[in-house]
Structure 1
Amino acid sequence: MKLRLQLFELEDQKWFPHVIREGMQDYLRFMITKLNTYEAALPQLQELLEHSRQQHITDLCSGAGGGIAPIRLELSKRMGTSVHVTLSDLYPNIEAYQYLSNSSYGTINFIPEPVDCTNVPPQVSGVRTIFSSFHHFPPETAQAILQDAVEKGASIGIFEGARKTWAELLLLWLVFPVIILLITPFIRPFKFSRLFFTYIIPLIPLGIIWDGTVSLLRIYPPEMLKRMVANLNAPGYTWQAGRVGSELGKHVIYLIGYPKEKENV
């Protein structure tokens, strides 16, 4: 699937109820974590950290922090040192972040205030990552996110957990509704609101199916990511874009960029 349609996602809308947005994000975090979706991209993440001489990731557009706990653990094992993660978002999911912080014994922390990924505060340090969220932004905003990282001397990694195929759309429409109904009681932290808006008034499942469909249509394929970085004013930066992963549920589209000589701040 080479086309990209901007369309709109419900959770991007300011009017969208935060309780439904959080329920959708919690489901995404649960699935990404259980499937270990980003396992195939660990070599690219490791390269990004090592070239930047960093053991700290600042995750932008974190949602509910989907998959970040196993990513942090595996990176720590591969690098032989404790990797720390700071979560952030324009709409911070504080309850999910606190849960991840507590369960990781503080190796995952968070910024409670909203963070604009097109203008990250200069005091926010670490290698920047965006998992499962870069597709939300139209091309001009997506490019502004990358340019902001360059202007502040930060390394950045973009990761989308999909292959971007029509088969994935069929899977989403035919299988995911059943999966959502089956796994919702096991998602933590437990919330009565999540049960209510899944089984009584099914706004969370409907939101997941709609936003999941739009997400696949919005994801930037590697060819578009390469054209995007070619338009950046980024002298001295190294960029790589591509696809990794061959197992079902573990396909990743990625873009990584880091300064060739200047150390990350």
Structure 2
Amino acid sequence: MAPWIPRMHLFEIDDQPWFPDFLRALVQDALTHVWKTRMPLQVLAPAHHAADVLIRQFGDTLSEYTIIDFCAGGGGPTPFIERNINGHLRSRGAAPVRFVLTDLHPNIHSWDKIARKNPLITYEREGVDASAAPEHLVHRDDGKKTLRLFNLAFHHFDDPLATAILRDTVETSQGFVIFELQDRSLASAMSNLILGIGVILAAPLYAWKWRSLATLIFCWLIPILPFVIVFDGYISSLRTRTPEEVEALLRSCGADTSEWEMSSGDERHLWPCGYLSWIVCKPVSRT
């Protein structure tokens, strides 16, 4: 179905250099919990759906890849995805998949905690430009293929940058996956409003869990956190591309994409209006 409004690349508050780092960290933490927390009206958390998509699309061939999370923020759903995928692979006697967290602005504090709990997750300490990924990152010493992962991230790139990222991906990697929790639809607008209300209601729980008085202050006393999440959520929806729009950028990126094929879909994670949108693109297997 065609989106109900044209794509607009407007600004998000969380992207701005003047937005305080400690508030940005709170926003990233909140979005991480959106990925992995199963609310009362959810059968599965979004991260669980994301892992299921990867398992369905790649099967046991996931063992052939190293999955690199570009624009990882605070870590997002990657630890949850790693546990689900590798649990599935171990049950089938297949080798596990390693994950690498990267970002233009690395969140070392959060990533270090994740890596200590998850031996199959590592991270890059230096900033990584997804349009010019460093050689050591995409050409693995262990002979593994590279699969690029964009969790709630690809909509942040304007068309020239997105095109450059796709060109670099085709030239140096063996596939990419895009997950988004929003699109340009009325259902997405409703879901975003529910998210804002949920952030306000859950503030005392997470303030206690994280030992963070700032979470409570900036959710209830000065409600910057829910405002930014809802505002940026609507802007993210306007920025999010359809699969057809992503494919148009891919085919015009300047690299040879004749052997690459794309599939896409939606998984409902929150009744009645919350959907995980996904795009998987990789070279066609020739036998």
Range of TM-score over shorter length: 0.7 to 0.9
Q: For residues 197 and 43 of structure 1, do their structure 2 counterparts lie closer, same or farther at Cα, with a shift above 3 Å needed?
A: closer
Task: Name the residue aligned to 2:232.
Answer: 211
Q: CA distance change for structure 1 residues 146 and 224 in 2, over 3 Å: closer, same or farther?
A: same
* Residue ranges of structure 1 left out of the alignment (5+ in a row): none
Taking only aligned residues, the RMSD between alpha carbons, in angstroms, comes to 2.5
Give the counterpart letter for 1:123 in structure 2: H
**2:70 alignment partner in structure 1:** 60
Structure 2 unaligned runs (5+)? Answer: 39-44, 139-145
TM-score normalised by L of structure 2: 0.80
8 Å Cα contact 1:48-1:155 kept in structure 2 = no
**Could you say which residue in structure 1 is the equivalent of 2:250?**
229
TM value normalised by structure 1: 0.86
> Does structure 2 conserve the Cα–Cα contact (< 8 Å) formed by 1:226 and 1:241?
no
Could you say what secondary structure the match of 2:282 adopts? strand
Maintained 8 Å contact 2:251/2:257: no
- Residue 200 of structure 2 is aligned to residue 181 of structure 1: yes
Structure with higher RCO (Cα < 8 A, 6+ apart):
1
Q: Provide Cα deviations, 1:14-41, integer angstroms capped at 9, x if missing partner.
A: 2221111111111000111114214334
Moved more, 195-204 or 213-222: 195-204
Question: Is residue 19–residue 193 contact of structure 1 (8 Å, CA) maintained in 2?
Answer: no
Structure 2 CA distance for aligned equivalents of residues 75 and 93 of structure 1: 24
- Cα distance in structure 2, aligned partners of 1:73 and 1:259: 26
**Structure 2 residue 229 is the aligned partner of structure 1 residue 220:** no
Give the secondary-structure state (helix, strand or coil) at the position aligned to 1:244. strand
Which position in structure 2 is the counterpart of 1:98? 112
Counterpart of 1:143 in structure 2 is 163
2:218 aligns with 197
Residue identity over aligned pairs, in percent, reads 26
Structure 2 residue 96 is matched with structure 1 residue 77: no
- After TM superposition, give the deviation of residue 180 of structure 1 in Å: 0.8
1:122 aligns with 135
- 8 Å CA contact retained: 1:237, 1:257: no
Q: Displacement, 1:203?
A: 1.8
Amino acid at match of 1:257: C
User: Would you say the 8 A contact 1:52–1:127 is kept in 2?
Assistant: no
Residue 147 of structure 1: CA displacement?
A: 0.7
Equivalenced residue count is 260
- AA partner of residue 107 (structure 1): L
Question: What is the SS of the residue equivalent to 1:30?
Answer: helix
Give distance in 2, aligned partners of 1:52 and 1:26: 28
Superposed displacement of residue 55, structure 1: 4.2
Structure 1 counterpart SS, 2:74: coil
Larger radius of gyration: 2
Q: Is the 8 A contact 2:179 2:278 kept in 1?
A: yes
Q: 2:189 aligns with which of 144, 155, 169?
A: 169
CA distance in structure 1 between the aligned counterparts of 2:61 and 2:224, rounded to whole angstroms: 43
Q: Secondary structure at the residue paired with 2:214?
A: helix
1:132 aligned residue: 152
Please name the residue that 2:29 is paired with. 26
Q: Tell me the amino acid that sits aligned with residue 117 of structure 2.
A: S
